[in-house]
A and B are shown apart, each in its own frame.
Chain A
C-alpha cells in the first residue's frame, strides 16, 4: 500500500516533469543547449512613389503564416498613413495604407522578421478548391490545348502532367504553340502564369505563388514565382524548372494569384525595393522574445522573467538538487561515509568559485590546519561551544593567511579560499577530530577523503554550463530528480560497501 503510494507519486512527478519538458522543447522551442543559434532574416520592403496631391490608397500583400517559418515583428513605417489589413477576395491578406492628401515623393517601409522555428502553426486544412477555367483568347486557347495534349500523352497523373507542361514551357527551342502563348523570351512569371492556365484547362485547380528566397543578404531581392497545383488531396508546389513537386525550404510564400504586388490609386506606379538580411541569434533569446510577444504563460511565468540578479542566484540554486541526488546515491546505494549530511554539496558549491584543483588543495590545507589546532585544543580540555568557536576563529585566520600568501605569490586562485563556507569547514574539522578520537586517524581520514570525493563528484555533476542551462530553462526536470529521490527513499537493497562488509556471510561454504 505504502509502496504503491510511493511509486504512484514518483510516476506522477516524473510524468508531469517529462511532459512539461517535452512540451517546452518541442512546442515552445526552448533550446537544449545554451549556445544554440537560430537563423533569422530581416525583410524590409521600401515602396517609393510620387503622389499627386489627391487621396492615396496603396495596398500590398503581407505574407501569411507559412508552415515552416514564423513571422514576427511586423511593422510599418509610414508617417501620416492609416494602416489596416484586409482579407482580399483572392484569399491574400493585403495591407492597406491610405492618406487623405499626399503630394510629392512618398517613401513607405514595411518590415518583418522571419525565422525557422517549431512555433509555426500547422496550415489550416483546406478542402479541394474548384478549378477556374481561365479566360483565354482563341489563339491562346489553341496553343494551350496543344501543350496540354502533348503533356497528357507523356504523363501519368497530376504531378507528372504539371512537370511536362513546365518542361515544354522551359524548352530552349520552344514549340510554336509555346511561343504563341507566352511570347518569344518569356519571363519566369509569364511561364508560371501560362502553366497555371494550362493546368486549369486540364481541370486541375492551380495558382501562381509569389515569394522570396531566404538565403544570404540581398539588397535588391526579387520575387520568385512558382506554381501550386491541387491534386485532390493537397496543394503541390512546382518551381518552373521542377522535375517533381516540392519546394526548397528557403522559399517563403508571400502572396498567391495573378494580382500584382502593389496596387495604388492617387499615385504613380510605385518602385519597390526588397532587402533581406540574414543573422544568427541565440535561440534562447529569440524564443523568449517570441514568447513575450505572444504572452505565452510558460515563458512569462518562468525564471527568465525574474530580475537578473535573482536569475543568477537561481542558476546556482537549481543545480543543488542534482548534487543532493548524487549525494543520496553515494550514501545510500554506494555507502560512502561523509561528514555531515549535505556538507559535500556545500563544498561542491564553493568549488565552482575556486576551480576544482585549487578547491581541493585549499580545502585540504584549511581542514588539515584546523585539525592540527583542534587536536592541540583537545589537550587543553576546553568545553564544547568555546572549542568550536576557537576552531572557527582559527579557520578564518588560516583563510586570511592563505589569501595573503597566495596574493604575494601572485596566485589569484588562492584568494578564492575566502569563498569556502567557514562554518561548514569548522563543523567538518570538529566532526573529523571526534572521529579521529573515537575511531582512530585511519577512519577519520577515510571519511574525510570520502567527503572530498563526493564533493568532487557533486561538483562535476553540478557545474557544467549545459547542466546549469538545462535546469534553469527547464526547472520541471527537478520533478524527475524528485521522483528518483523519492524512489531511492524506498531502496532497501544492499549498499556497495556492505557487500564488502558482509562478504564472509556470502561465502559459498556457509
Chain B
C-alpha cells in the first residue's frame, strides 16, 4: 500500500484531499461558485464575452409558470429541459419531436403533458439541485452532435471536458455515453472517458468505471485515435473560461454541434479526478507546471496560455 501511494505520488496523481486543500480552497473563492453552479448565470456571462452556448428558449422559475410553457414552446419540435442547478446530468429531458400533444423523447418513449408538468414541478422543488434548494428549469436548444462521435456514443450527447487551471487548459477528455449510463455523459454513471492529447486533439486511451477499454461497449468501435474537430477553438474557449468566472480550478464542458460548432454546456467548479485515468497521467504535475509558469500572477493572453499548454502538456508517446 505505501509503495502504491508513493508511485501514485511520483506519477503526479491528484487525490480528492489534495485537490480540495491545495487547489480549490486557496484559489476558488466560494462566492464565485454560483457562476458555475447556476447554468443560467453561466449562459449569461458566456454570452456577454461572445462564447457560444446552446440557445435559451425559455426559463421556468416557479410552479405557476409550468402551465404556460407548452404555449411558449409551440413552435419548437425539439429542445432540452434541464435544471439550472443540476449535477451529473440529473433531471435532463431531451425532446426530439412531438406526437400530437405529447413529446417524443430521445430514447423513443413518449411523455405526455401531465408527465412533463410533474417533472417540471419536481425539478423546481429542488429534487435535482446540489443542496436541495428550489431550482429553475431551463429549456434550450437541443445539440445535434458532430458526426465524428456517431459511432462511439450511445444515445445522449458526447461532450469534451477540459480541466483549466488559471486559464491554462491542463487536461482534457471526451465523455461518451453508453447504454449503462443511460445516455448520460457522466463517468460515475458508466459513461466512457477518453483522454485527449492537448497538443493534437486526438483521443488516447479510454476508461470505463476504473478500467481501461479500447472499444465502445455498445457500438464496438475503437474509441482512441479519433480527432476532435475544432480542437484549437475548444482550447481557446477553455482558456477564456477563467476570465469568465474567476475560478482558478474548474472544468469546462463543451459540446460540438454539427451546425453551430463548439458550445459551452456548463462550467464545473468541482471537476472530478477520473480524467487522470482516462489520460493515464497525473494532474498534479501539470498543475505544478502552471504554478511555476506564474499561475494567476502573470497575465498572458488566452492564446499564449493555449500555446503553453500545447507545448507542455502533449501526451507522452503520442
Contact of A506 among B11, B21, B127, B281 (CB under 8 A): B11
A101-147 with Cβ < 8 A to chain B: none
> Per-position contact with B for A321-356: 1 when CB-CB < 8 Å, else 0?
000000000001001000000000000000000000
Q: Contact between B5 and A499 (Cβ–Cβ < 8 Å)?
A: yes
How far is B7's CA from A506's CA once the two chains are assembled, in angstroms?
5
Contact of A508 among B7, B18, B212, B282 (CB under 8 A): B7
How far is B7's CA from A255's CA once the two chains are assembled, in angstroms?
75
Task: Determine the chain B residues whose CB is within 8 A of the CB of A489 once the complex forms.
Answer: 21
Task: Determine the chain A residues whose CB is within 8 A of the CB of B4 once the complex forms.
Answer: 499, 503, 506
Whether B271 is near chain A, meaning CB under 8 Å from some CB there, is: no
B1-55 with Cβ < 8 A to chain A: 1, 4-5, 7-9, 11, 13, 15-18, 20-22, 26
Known contacts A381-B118, A438-B189, A505-B277: A494-B11 contact under CB 8 Å:
no
A461-510 with Cβ < 8 A to chain B: 489-496, 498-508, 510
Task: Determine the chain B residues whose CB is within 8 A of the CB of A89 once the complex forms.
Answer: none
Task: Determine the chain B residues whose CB is within 8 A of the CB of A308 once the complex forms.
Answer: none
Q: Contact between A504 and B277 (Cβ–Cβ < 8 Å)?
A: yes
Whether A383 is near chain B, meaning CB under 8 Å from some CB there, is: yes
Q: Contact between B211 and A504 (Cβ–Cβ < 8 Å)?
A: yes
How far is B209's CA from A500's CA once the two chains are assembled, in angstroms?
12
How many chain A residues touch the partner (CB < 8 A)? 29
Contact of B122 among A384, A439, A502 (CB under 8 A): A384
How far is B16's CA from A466's CA once the two chains are assembled, in angstroms?
36
Q: Contact between A494 and B5 (Cβ–Cβ < 8 Å)?
A: yes
Closest-CB distance, B276 to chain A (whole angstroms): 6
Q: Which of A385, A490, A491, A492 has the most CB of B within 10 A?
A: A492
Task: Determine the chain B residues whose CB is within 8 A of the CB of A499 once the complex forms.
Answer: 1, 4-5, 8
Q: Which of A498, A500, A507, A510 has the most CB of B within 10 A?
A: A498
How far is B129's CA from A378's CA once the two chains are assembled, in angstroms?
18
B280-304 with Cβ < 8 A to chain A: 280-282
Task: Determine the chain B residues whose CB is within 8 A of the CB of A383 once the complex forms.
Answer: 121-122, 125
Whether B67 is near chain A, meaning CB under 8 Å from some CB there, is: no
How far is B277's CA from A438's CA once the two chains are assembled, in angstroms?
22
B229-254 with Cβ < 8 A to chain A: none
Which residue of the partner chain A has the closest CB to B10? A506
Q: Which of B9, B13, B16, B17 has the most CB of A within 10 A?
A: B17
Q: Contact between B15 and A494 (Cβ–Cβ < 8 Å)?
A: yes
Q: Contact between A505 and B11 (Cβ–Cβ < 8 Å)?
A: yes
Task: Determine the chain A residues whose CB is within 8 A of the CB of B270 once the complex forms.
Answer: none
Task: Determine the chain A residues whose CB is within 8 A of the CB of B273 once the complex forms.
Answer: 502
Closest-CB distance, B14 to chain A (whole angstroms): 9
Q: Contact between B210 and A501 (Cβ–Cβ < 8 Å)?
A: yes
Closest-CB distance, A2 to chain B (whole angstroms): 8
How far is B22's CA from A395's CA once the two chains are assembled, in angstroms?
42
Which residue of the partner chain A has the closest CB to B125? A384
Whether B179 is near chain A, meaning CB under 8 Å from some CB there, is: no
Whether B257 is near chain A, meaning CB under 8 Å from some CB there, is: no
How far is B277's CA from A500's CA once the two chains are assembled, in angstroms?
12
Contact of B21 among A335, A439, A490, A500 (CB under 8 A): A490
Contact of A494 among B8, B188, B210 (CB under 8 A): B8
Task: Determine the chain B residues whose CB is within 8 A of the CB of A492 once the complex forms.
Answer: 15, 17-18, 20-22
Chain A residues engaging chain B, CB cutoff 8 angstroms: 2, 332, 335, 381, 383-385, 438-439, 489-496, 498-508, 510
Please name 24 pairs of A and B residues whose Cβ atoms are closer than 8 Å in the assembled complex, sorted by A: A335-B16, A384-B122, A384-B125, A384-B126, A384-B127, A439-B188, A490-B21, A491-B21, A492-B17, A492-B18, A492-B20, A492-B21, A493-B5, A494-B8, A494-B18, A496-B1, A498-B16, A499-B1, A499-B4, A505-B8, A505-B11, A505-B13, A505-B281, A506-B13
Q: Which 3 A-B pairs have the closest CB atoms?
A: A506-B7, A492-B18, A494-B15
